[in-house]
Amino acid sequence: MSEEILRVEDLVVRFYTYAGVVKAIEGVSFTVFKGECFGLVGETGCGKSVTMRSIMRLIPPPGRIVSGKIFFEGKNLLELSEEEMREIRGRKISYIVQEPMTALDPIFKIGYQVAEPVFHHKLANSFKEAIKHAIKALREARMPSPERTANMYPHELSGGMRQRAVISTSLACEPDLIIADEPTTAVDVTIQAQIMDLLRNLQKSRGLTMILVTHNLGLVAEMCDRVAVMYAGNIVEIADVFTLFGKPMHPYTNGLLKAVPHIAKRKHELKLEPIPGTIPNLIYPPPGCRFHPRCPYAKDICKKEKPELVEVESGHFVACHLYHRR
């Protein structure tokens, strides 16, 4: 196996609200290796974005990282000062957010916003030189007329162009790890394909490591080397992409795959199989396995004990009592 670049151990994140304590992330662990595309999938609200923001140490109040370790290139990010983290954000780890319109500042031109991290991290001797870096980054992101676009404001761009501007900002400092948090949410299918093709080519040409956060299993199958499946603040399964699609073990992973229509099936056989129920209220999560109220295979032990993430086959990890040796 390749050298690891990121390791998350027993991460716990909670939000202290007036309604109660939201147990958003409860003991999440996974490893990302250099040069791979690692997928994180799950339903909306399962904690994917919170996990990624924890890596960047950008959890907004009233949220707080309660415990755990996040090792990046051998350093525990949770032990670094805020000043040390600012040197890592953008330079070593970049974050492509879901909604580019809210990520871009409406009062600054695109070229300025792409150039700002370049100048901050001292990759250019002057801001004028940083603007040249920005135009180069816009060109790499296949932005139409990059020199002209650099002189435009976010509201003058289309959704696809804004997304390319955000990608340019993330790539401008040539980071080692890119976190792409549902990078195609705000664009149509055609632009989605272009953006994912762009990210794939940039990853391969630069040898980047990427974490792709999505609920689109089609993107996972096309882009990722390994995948982690998340449910209600827990990782329930980790495997390489071929194993996950060919031999899923966790009942939740099975449910996700059965809910996707298969183009090879005949028209009269195209019947979706939805997962019954909804994601639980994480202020009052169910005891034991958080999936047990929706699981067709739930046993008594599932309601009492939380299953640990164990390796059932080489490189295939599952958190389910069905596979635990007792």
Which tokens hold the place of 85? 């983290």
Query: What is the greatest pairwise CA distance in the chain?
Result: 66
Residue 326 has what pLDDT? 46
49 and 153 in a common domain? no
Amino acid at 204: K
Rounded to 5 degrees, φ, ψ at 70 are -130, 100
Give the range of the structural domain holding residue 134, as residue numbers without chain letter.
93-174
261 and 244 in a common domain? yes
Residue 59 has what pLDDT? 94
Averaged in consecutive runs of 10 residues, what is the pLDDT profile of the chain (326 residues)? Answer: 89 96 96 95 91 95 96 95 94 88 90 94 91 92 92 92 90 92 78 84 87 90 94 96 94 89 60 83 94 93 93 93 73
108 bridge partner residues: none
Asked whether residue 277 is domain-assigned, the answer is yes
- The Cα–Cα gap between 94 and 185 comes to 18
Asked whether residue 244 is domain-assigned, the answer is yes
Asked whether residue 31 is domain-assigned, the answer is yes
223 and 128 in a common domain? no
- The Cα–Cα gap between 295 and 290 comes to 10
Asked whether residue 52 is domain-assigned, the answer is yes
What is the total count of domains within the chain? Answer: 2
36 and 11 in a common domain? yes
Whole-model pTM: value is 0.92
- The Cα–Cα gap between 70 and 142 comes to 33
Asked whether residue 14 is domain-assigned, the answer is yes
Amino acid at 14: R
214 and 72 in a common domain? yes
Q: What is the CATH number of the domain that holds 125?
A: 3.40.50.300
- The Cα–Cα gap between 244 and 226 comes to 8
Proportion of the chain in helix, strand, coil states, percent, rounded to 5: 35, 25, 40
29 and 113 in a common domain? no
294 bridge partner residues: none
135 and 227 in a common domain? no
Number of Cβ within a 10 Å radius of residue 280: 18
Asked whether residue 158 is domain-assigned, the answer is yes
236 and 111 in a common domain? no
258 and 113 in a common domain? no
